[in-house]
Amino acid sequence: MPRSRARARPPPVETWAPISTVSSEKKKLRFAPSPTGALHIGGARTALYNWLLARGSGGSLVLRIEDTDRERSTGENVEQILDALRWLELDWDEGPLSQHERADRHGERLRELLDADKAYHSLATAETVKAQKAQSNLGFRGEPVAPGTEGAAVRLRVPEGTTIVHDEIRGDISFDNSVHDDPVIARGDGSVLYNFAVAIDDLDMGITDVVRGDDHLSNTPKQVIVMEQLGETPPRYAHLPLLHGPDGKKLSKRHGAASVQELASAGYLPAAVRNYLALLGWGAADDQTLLSTDELVRQFSIERVGRSSAIFDEKKLRWINGRYMRELPLEEYERRFAEQLSRADPAAAEAFAAGDAERRRAALQIAQEKAQTLDDVWPLVRFLFEDPPNDEKAWRKVMKDGTRPLLEDAAAALREADPFEPASIEASLAPILAARGVKPGQLYQPIRVAISGGAVSPGIFESLAVLGRDSAVSRIDRAVTRLR
RNA sequence: GGCCCCGUGGUGUAACGGUCAGCACGCGAGGUUUUCAUCCUCGUAGCGCGAGUUCGACUCUCGCCGGGGCUACCA
């Protein structure tokens, strides 16, 4: 597993953690996205944190789709979210559950509230509410109408007093009920709204910890009131700071590489993405940067989650991903690369597949330490599977006046190199340096351009070896001809 | 406008009243090197502002400023 340098870790210090953190209380969490679009990295991070907490406590994770708004919820969007979670390799124990399908149960609880006069029917529209709010800053209270009145919505009766949300990250936050509107919890057609459904579902499913984005913080008192009016005890809450785009605004589809799908198609590795996402808002106690998923599960705790919003930084993700690339077992590396290539460039994938297995593996190996993402690999090795591209700029830069005899020497030496392996290739090429009185770069760069077409490739000796004697010599001969 | 949250370098974070404010990415300069990358060394840059509490504040309190979220019969 990648870890930040084998620096000496301090010896384990005896610590006396409070009982609550050492106890093995099993948590039950939920990830509850609304299917209104692709899963972006903010949602992905929320999913990851919930997953880490569930796994770390030996508890469980529920996947619940918040689809009470039928208009905006599409099966396509649900699939996209499921795909994203699968790609991230985050699994769940229950679900996916459709919130919408629990309408009967929601209706049941709604009637309870109505019967106890904790909620009432109201005809007030958004306009009337707004009009009243323009006069005073007090919360809106509706005029109850008879049950069964055509088109009447149901409003929750907000009690007097203060609602306190106990937040694991921010501490106690109190809301003055008098400024809260009586929220609509069911539409005129009887269907319930999000803030009501969530409260019921979290209760019914026995959720112990609700971990979600900060954008829900203002919703929480409404949900807590619903639960309290029902005589129930709310779960623990933790509101994560939002992830912002480079413009400092809440992350949304408008921002660049923001969705999980995009990270996947950009050639990142799921494990690296998990590592990076974990670090966006949380830090290991010992400042470790590279943590395997196992280590994350073991170390992650809500107490160490920060309170301020963070900005997605792709540069760091790239760096982390590069570290994971280098640690990748060859088999997995090969599998992921092949999948990625066939998605990104079918023609290239065909060319790659046409190479024999040994060459494919060798190519991937010599490119491994140079690639930061799966997408970086193909440009480095394509010359082993296709005719090299013609990079005129690279050609002009390295093919100087005295280059031709050097390449002729190189071709001759390569004809003799035996076996045709990196060490012996180097041994046969190196004497040319002294004989011609040139520096390594003056010989090796022209060879590189001749065989790979460009100025960047894996190590030249490895590249020649994998290419094979015949192709290597003929490509060099071709360059010699062109230099004539 | 109202309610709520947040504020350490360009970015992510550490520090939980006493440290030369640490680490990582990035960036810069060297070194290794057959290119690039890796790797190694060094460097760069920060506690939003102002009061107060205290022997002592990044750490506590208040105000200001700045950023953000919510304010739907959306989620």
CA distance readout (Å), A403 to A335, A414, A429, A450, A476: 40, 16, 14, 11, 11
- For A230, residues 6+ apart whose C-beta sits below 8 A from its C-beta are A109, A112, A113, A118, A199, A203
**Domain assignment present for A6:** no
| Pick from A408, A410, A337, A400: nearest CA to A368 | A337
CA distance readout (Å), A51 to A23, A66, A211, A353: 19, 18, 10, 37
Q: What CATH code is carried by the domain that includes residue A308?
A: 1.10.1160.10
Judgement on whether residues A195 and A283 belong to the same structural domain of the protein: no
Judgement on whether residues A213 and A96 belong to the same structural domain of the protein: yes
**Domain assignment present for A433:** yes
**Domain assignment present for A4:** no
* Domains: count for chain A: 4
Q: β-strands A28-31, A60-65: how paired?
A: parallel
From A26, A130, A249, A253, the catalytic residue: A253
Give the model's pLDDT for residue A1.
Answer: 36
From CA A31, how far away is CA A127, in angstroms rounded? 34
From CA A287, how far away is CA A113, in angstroms rounded? 49
**Domain assignment present for A320:** yes
Judgement on whether residues A356 and A465 belong to the same structural domain of the protein: no
**Domain assignment present for A251:** no
Chain A, 379-438: which CBs lie within 7 Å of strand B? none
CA distance readout (Å), A453 to A147, A151, A384, A394: 79, 72, 11, 8
CA distance readout (Å), A119 to A34, A102, A128, A147: 26, 20, 19, 11
Of A220, A244, A268, which residue constitutes the final position of a domain?
A: A244
What is the extent of the structural domain holding A109? 24-244
Q: What CATH code is carried by the domain that includes residue A61?
A: 3.40.50.620
Amino acid making up residue A420: F
Give the model's pLDDT for residue A224.
Answer: 97
- For A27, residues 6+ apart whose C-beta sits below 8 A from its C-beta are A53, A54, A57, A59, A208, A209
* Residues linked to residue A443 through DSSP beta bridges, in sequence order: none
Task: State the DSSP string of A9-33.
Answer: PPPPPP----HHHHS-PPPEEEE--
Residues A72, A52: contact at Cβ < 8 Å? Answer: no
From CA A39, how far away is CA A45, in angstroms rounded? 10
From CA A51, how far away is CA A45, in angstroms rounded? 10
Judgement on whether residues A412 and A275 belong to the same structural domain of the protein: no
Return the half-sphere exposure (C-beta side, CA atoms, 13 A cut-off) of residue A14.
0
CA distance readout (Å), A76 to A79, A291, A384: 5, 34, 40
Q: Is the CB of A315 under 7 A from strand B?
A: yes
**Domain assignment present for A17:** no
**Domain assignment present for A397:** yes
Judgement on whether residues A34 and A72 belong to the same structural domain of the protein: yes
Q: CA A240, A275, A321: angle at the middle one, nearest 5?
A: 135
Query: Residue A12: is the preceding peptide bond cis (ω within 30°)?
Result: no
Task: State the DSSP string of A164-218.
Answer: EEEETTTEEEEEEGGGS---EEE-TTSPBPHHHHHHHHHHHTT-SEEEEEGGGTT
Judgement on whether residues A364 and A448 belong to the same structural domain of the protein: no
Q: Is the CB of A294 under 7 A from strand B?
A: no
A249 counts as catalytic: no
Of A302, A324, A346, which residue constitutes the final position of a domain?
A: A324
Q: Is the CB of A188 under 7 A from strand B?
A: yes
**Closest nucleotide to residue A185 (Cα to C1')?**
B73
* C1' of B61 to CA of A177 (Å): 26
Q: Is the CB of A308 under 7 A from strand B?
A: yes
Judgement on whether residues A136 and A200 belong to the same structural domain of the protein: yes
Tell which phi-psi region holds residue A206, choosing left (phi > 0), alpha (psi between -120 and 50) or beta.
left
Q: Is the CB of A130 under 7 A from strand B?
A: yes
> Which residue in this structure is represented by tokens 């785009």?
A245
The protein footprint on chain B, as nucleotides within 7 A of a CB, is 1-8, 10-14, 22-26, 33-40, 67-75
pLDDT in single tens digits along all 484 residues of chain A: 333 333 222 222 223 333 334 446 899 999 999 988 889 999 999 999 999 999 999 999 999 999 987 776 788 889 999 999 999 999 999 979 999 999 999 999 999 999 999 999 999 988 888 888 888 888 999 999 998 898 899 999 999 999 999 999 999 999 999 999 999 999 999 999 999 999 999 999 999 999 999 999 999 999 999 999 999 999 999 999 999 877 767 666 555 557 999 999 999 999 999 999 999 999 998 889 999 999 999 999 999 999 999 999 899 999 999 999 999 999 999 999 999 999 999 999 999 999 899 999 999 999 999 999 999 999 999 999 998 888 888 888 888 888 888 999 999 999 988 889 999 999 999 989 888 888 888 899 999 999 999 889 999 999 999 999 999 999 999 988 887 7
* Residues linked to residue A162 through DSSP beta bridges, in sequence order: A176
Judgement on whether residues A303 and A235 belong to the same structural domain of the protein: no
Count the Cβ atoms, other than its own, within 10 Å of residue A254.
9
From CA A190, how far away is CA A58, in angstroms rounded? 39
H or E segment and range at residue A155: strand A153-156
Helix (H, G, I), strand (E, B) or coil at A39: coil
Helix (H, G, I), strand (E, B) or coil at A235: coil
| Pick from A218, A217, A158, A164: nearest CA to A182 | A158
Chain A, 20-59: which CBs lie within 7 Å of strand B? 33-34, 36
Q: Is the CB of A170 under 7 A from strand B?
A: yes
Q: What CATH code is carried by the domain that includes residue A418?
A: 1.10.10.350
Judgement on whether residues A478 and A413 belong to the same structural domain of the protein: yes
Judgement on whether residues A370 and A413 belong to the same structural domain of the protein: no
Judgement on whether residues A312 and A423 belong to the same structural domain of the protein: no
**Domain assignment present for A60:** yes
Amino acid making up residue A442: Q
Judgement on whether residues A287 and A427 belong to the same structural domain of the protein: no
